[in-house]
Structure 1
Amino acid sequence: MYTHGRKQDCRITLDYTYKGMRVAFLENNLMRIGILIDKGGDIFEITYKPKDIDFLWQSPIAMRPPFTSTNALAEGAYHDYYYGGWQEILPSAGWSSEPYKGTYQGLHGEVSLLPVSAQIITDTPELVTLKTEVTLYRSPLKLEKHLSLKKDTATLFIKEKLTNTSPHDFEIMWGHHPVVGEPFLDTSCTVQAPAKKIEVMAYHPNGLWTTDKEFDFPHAQNRRTGQMQDVTKILGKESKSVDVLFFKELQEGWYGINNHNLNLGLGMAWDHNLFKYLWMWQVYQGHDDYPWYGRTYNLGLEPFTSYPPAGIDTAIKNGSSLKMKPHQIIETNLVTTAYEATHIKKITLDGVVHL
């Protein structure tokens, strides 16, 4: 990829643009990670080289620099720019018509729409690290991230530091929004997560699962058949369904998505005392209105502090919002890793996949 510098082991560069926007690449012999500097520090590529698979979903909406649409939406611009990939969601998730502390956050908050600063911290054959930083406009928050790849590992290490820059409490919803798609996603895929309960959000008329009641993980009631069904077995496009489910009472912070046809998995690990809920966004070609119009087949598994995606005011009311104290700093670590297996025991924050 690069015209100068190392051709083997760990590599990192800020020398490129893509679709008119600045990007960073972190790479080793197993993984290539693409980061969109001019839009939220999004992760737009996670490629596992041995099988030439980019796990992340690509939506029918093109990746593009900021533009002027026909009319501003009340929900904000998130969907107009949502090309797929992995966004950080902060300081609110979902959309609410209610303001918080005098302003509106729109759908999924600010971070994913803001450019970030980027700096190469470490650049050696054994380790590469990129630092990104962004200060929000409508919220008194600053987010710093260190993203690292190590030699001979298929794991991206993420270290985050979130600061409340104000002398007052500030309540937030904070989460990660990675979404996988074809060719990785198919009906041979299964999901593993150490949850005890499932709740289904009343989200869309084409929802498959019975809403607004709790079920014992991993089953929920299919509202079309009335039967209990394992929600962790991925369904096909013929389902024509779309749902948002919440995995609750997590015993540990990890999940794995396992493709049995490819003998390939993608997983995450995180601090489940901070990100207490795992959202599962199932789109089996059932989202037939804006912005997807029935064109999409994808799966999001998203660690979050709070639920549901209905704005910070809803999370405050149900007691799941995260209240940051004056000048509080929160530091946390996450990893995402690829592995060749169809069943795992767990993933730990050191990036180890236990088989």
Structure 2
Amino acid sequence: MPSSLWLHTDRLSVEVRPDKGADITSITERATGIDILSRTPWGRRDLAGTPVTGDSRADLLARYGGGWQQLVPNAGDERTVNGVRRGFHGEAAIVSWSVVDADDSRIQLATGLITAPLRLTRTLHLDGPTLNVRDTVHNTAEEPIPVMWVQHPGFGAPFIDEHCTISTPARTVLTDAEQPDNAMPPDTRAAFPLVPTADGGTVDLRQVPGPGSRRSVFACLTDFDAGWYTINSLTAGFGIRLAWDTTVLPHAWLWQECHASNGFPWYRRAYVVAIEPANVLPGAPSPACSARGQAPLLPAGTSWTSDIALSITDLR
């Protein structure tokens, strides 16, 4: 199995890792040579040399080089479902996928999971400035299965900096109930984009924090009028627009780690901004939101399909 597959057009080059979660590890705008996706401080690892600790969070992070993952059947902390422990951020992002078909503009991959009776397929089609990603989750069992599903694209420097702006038709921000060092108070609802901060101020979530901001944010965007967001980079001279179907993924997790978090795994070394379409609110049920962490049921023998389009947009 190849460790990387590539898609190319005159505008974009895209790298995909079938040996590790069918991750999209690079999306490069060819005129500038800028890769819009994030990279962890330790970079992309040779999986054969990755340590196994028995801690699902540490083990996933050891394999996480940045980029765009698909989190299935779990997202967030590990939990027990139907008597089986589902690891941190799920199984789909760490297993190998089979290559069904591939050429310069289209790749189709598939895998089956063990921690849940699910068959996954992923088709990537590159068309000019647009990467189209179709993911399908199929329940192979004869009973309904609770399934968390989160698309996990993270964006980083040099595309991301303090001159970037975010736009989205989400109407509500739900802050995390437990995340330590969050810039915003826990378990709070606010109207996007102006959200109270833990120190009594206000933050405008349309403005991306710079690498020296020491900001850590974890929240969820919801109540979308339509499923899309843009991130415009004045420094790069282009932006991105990511669009998806909110009937399948009605929320989007918001994560910003800007050289803020002490200790494992970041040690104040990470700079990443992520907006992640999701079918579930993050965390566990809380006083302000009992629906947190409540995975939808995928009926027996049926499938969900997610279509996402990421496009490069010109600013100059």
TM-score between the two structures when normalised by the length of structure 1: 0.83
Q: Where do 5+ consecutive residues of structure 2 fail to align?
A: none
Task: Answer whether contact 2:282 2:293 (CA < 8 A) is retained.
Answer: no
- For residue 206 of structure 1, report the CA deviation from its aligned partner: 2.2
Task: Answer whether contact 1:206 1:240 (CA < 8 A) is retained.
Answer: no
Please list, as runs of the form range in 1=range in 2, the aligned pairs for 1:1-355 lying within 5 A after superposition: 17=2, 22-63=3-44, 64-67=46-49, 69=51, 71-73=53-55, 75=57, 77-96=59-78, 98-120=79-101, 128-150=105-127, 153-224=128-199, 226-309=200-283, 318=292, 320-341=294-315
- For residue 209 of structure 1, report the CA deviation from its aligned partner: 1.2
Task: Answer whether contact 1:190 1:258 (CA < 8 A) is retained.
Answer: yes
Task: Answer whether contact 1:203 1:244 (CA < 8 A) is retained.
Answer: no
Over 6 Å off, 4+ runs:
none
Q: Distance in 1 between matches of 2:161 and 2:32?
A: 16
Q: Measured at CA, do residues 318 and 58 of structure 1 come closer, stay the same or move farther in structure 2, by a change above 3 Å?
A: closer
Aligned amino acid, residue 7 of structure 2: L
Q: Distance in 2 between matches of 1:92 and 1:174?
A: 7
- For residue 91 of structure 1, report the CA deviation from its aligned partner: 0.5
Aligned amino acid, residue 176 of structure 1: Q
Q: Distance in 2 between matches of 1:101 and 1:35?
A: 32
Q: The residue matched to 1:79 in structure 2 has which SS?
A: helix
Q: What is the CA deviation profile of residues 284-319 of structure 1, one whole-angstrom value per residue up to 9, with x for unaligned ones? A: 1112121111101110110000010459xxx99647
Task: Answer whether contact 2:119 2:137 (CA < 8 A) is retained.
Answer: yes
- For residue 65 of structure 1, report the CA deviation from its aligned partner: 1.1
Aligned length: 312
Q: What is the CA deviation profile of residues 19-53 of structure 1, one whole-angstrom value per residue up to 9, with x for unaligned ones? A: xxx21100011100000010010000100111211
TM-score between the two structures when normalised by the length of structure 2: 0.93
Q: The residue matched to 1:99 in structure 2 has which SS?
A: strand
Aligned Cα root-mean-square deviation (Å): 2.1
Task: Answer whether contact 1:154 1:338 (CA < 8 A) is retained.
Answer: yes
Task: Answer whether contact 1:204 1:242 (CA < 8 A) is retained.
Answer: no
Q: Where do 5+ consecutive residues of structure 1 fail to align?
A: 1-13, 343-355
